Amino acid sequence: MRYFAPASLEEAINILLEHEGAIILAGGTDVMVEKRSGKIEPSAVVDIKKLEGELRYMRLSDDRLEIGSLTTITDILHWGKLPHEVTSLKDAARVFGCHEIRNRATIGGNIAHASPGAEFASTLLALDATVQLAGKDGKRELSMEDFFLGPGKANMERGEVITGFSVPLLSGSSSCYMRASRVDGMDLAIINCAIRLQDLDAENLAVRAAFGAVAGKPIRIVEAEKLLAREDFEGVKRLLFDTLNPRATSLRAAPMSKKLLAGNLAEDTYKIAKERLAG
Amino acid sequence: MSVEIKINVNNRDYRLIVDEEDTLLYVLRERLHLTGTKEGCGNGECGACAVLVDGEPVRSCIILAAEMNGKNIVTVEGLSKVEKDGTVKLSPIQESFIEEGAIQCGFCTPGFVVASSALLEKTKDPTDEEIEEYLSGHLCRCTGYATILKAVRKAAEKTR
Ligand SMILES: Cc1cc2nc3c(=O)[nH]c(=O)nc-3n(C[C@H](O)[C@H](O)[C@H](O)COP(=O)(O)OP(=O)(O)OC[C@H]3O[C@@H](n4cnc5c(N)ncnc54)[C@H](O)[C@@H]3O)c2cc1C
Ligand code: FES
Ligand code: FES
């Protein structure tokens, strides 16, 4: 395996294109584990950490939050300026791995890995974020819905690099992320749920609800959003129990327990988001 | 293929030719013979291999040595000081681990000690919750953790 540490994005893209089987190395917390276990055998790794000056940032504009792909989970957890509308990002960072993993793991790696239960996948999906990619033909931007294709599969061409994410900050909105896991400490989610609420008028709420580890990729469930907007929690539980079809290959829980858990988790997540909307 | 790296480990500069696939853990143990750092799981889950890179605890089993060019690394060996007369002066956290008997087989201890010392660099007065949170990714299969927490609390008192 070759190791490259390019000093520019252009150089990184060129190396990725020149070397068949080359992959990007960010924090390495997925790459190194999968390489050591033999799950992947990259011909080369392209370490992009020299691009931190360009790709490690969190910036606020008028109505958006911009997050660079090399932003670490620790960066997100400790950023004092995180707007209250996107508190779900902090929820996700708080339960993520452990201190030492958070120090290395990046948000770009979390999304690029396209694991169905990744902490920031459902979170960014519920927040209606877009992902920004750079490749040899220039830049493009995709919705999170269009980005995830299946377990470990993302809408990325060879030679493309995620440069960042753009998250809308809606006025009168709030968000929450929660996961169900076996232990409170370091664990991956059995399932997870992220919700964004927005006040439309005195009576109506707009709800976006995303679920992780219930299918081959993180998904939004529009019917569940409608029921949550009416606070019909029993309806949500029934709907998710009846319609979810989790993969039986999951290591963390049987499909039946995921189906049973989903509605309860959605209710809890919704209620916290609602409290945040008021407070 | 191999690659040249310059690193500082425990206040000593090294210039090494390493294999591109070598982990930091491998280079520390097998090339620099700093065997205090342990390999438990080898996939980022247990914390036995924790070292400080530019002051922050990370897991050396899932980092390539090649990524470390230009970095400052501290291993458990670097926490104690050797006095002029050759005696070794342990750090407060090491002393507390001994005093509280926060060790059984000792395999997890270097990781706990290294991570705890980084915590105490940041906060002189960590709450129990902060200690637990900071060390939550470290596994010990022997002690049951109570003595470890006690040792960290004691070291915090000593350094205050
Ligand atoms: C002990 C442990 C605990 C963990 N706990 C959690 C957890 O609680 N929640 C969770 O979601 N995950 C967890 N993970 C998984 C992992 O830490 C995350 O997915 C992490 O965010 C990956 O980021 P990274 O920077 O380390 O990515 P890397 O391992 O460097 O890369 C991951 C993948 O993304 C690609 N990639 C990286 N950056 C880019 C980019 N900018 N553009 C395009 N492709 C890119 C790489 O080629 C690779 O395929 C854990 C892992 C370990 C070892
Ligand atoms: S050996 Fe590195 S975390 Fe277990
Ligand atoms: S003392 Fe044996 S693993 Fe911790």
Angle at A179 between CA A174 and CA A180, to 5 degrees: 145
Min Cα–Cα distance to chain A from B134, Å = 6
> Does the structural domain A57-279 have CATH classification 3.40.50.12780?
no
* Residues B74 and B99 occupy one common structural domain: no
Per-residue pLDDT at A169: 98
pTM of the predicted protein model: 0.96
- Which residue CA neighbors atom 3 of ligand 2 most closely? B44
Say whether both B112 and B67 belong to one domain: no
The complex's ipTM works out to: 0.95
pLDDT digits (tens, 9 = 90+) for A125-134: 999 999 999 9
pLDDT for residue A254: 84
For residues A87 and A89, give the distance between their C-alpha atoms in angstroms, rounded to a whole number: 5
Is pLDDT of A279 > 80?
A: no
| B150 shares a domain with B102 | yes
| Domain end marker among B78, B102, B137 | B78
Predicted confidence at residue A246, as pLDDT, reads 87
Nearest-10 Cα torsion for A263, A178, B139, B54: 160
User: Does B64 share its domain with B91?
Assistant: no
pLDDT computed for residue A12 by the predictor: 98
Domain containing residue B61: CATH number? 3.10.20.30
Domain boundaries, chain A: 57-279
For B35, the domain range is 2-78
> What is the full per-residue pLDDT of chain B (160 aa) written as tens digits?
899 999 999 999 999 999 999 999 999 999 999 999 999 999 999 999 999 999 999 999 999 999 999 999 999 999 999 889 989 999 999 999 999 999 999 999 999 999 999 999 999 999 999 999 999 999 999 988 999 999 999 999 998 8
Q: Give the count of domains, chain B.
A: 2
pLDDT bin (cut points 50, 70, 90) of residue A28 is very high
Domain termination residue (choose one: B58, B78, B98): B78
Average pLDDT, chain A: 95
Q: Are residues B6 and B65 in the same domain?
A: yes
Q: Is the CB of A110 under 6 A from ligand 1?
A: yes
A195 lines ligand 1 (CB under 6 A): no
In this prediction, residue A182 carries a pLDDT of 78
Whether residue B95 sits in one domain with residue B71: no
List of chain B residues whose C-beta atoms are within 8 Å of the C-beta of residue A32: 23, 43-44, 61-64
Q: Domain ends where: B63, B78, B93?
A: B78
User: What tens digit of pLDDT does each residue of B23-34 get?
Assistant: 999 999 999 999
Same domain, B43 and B89: no
Distance from CA of A163 to the nearest CA of B (A): 20
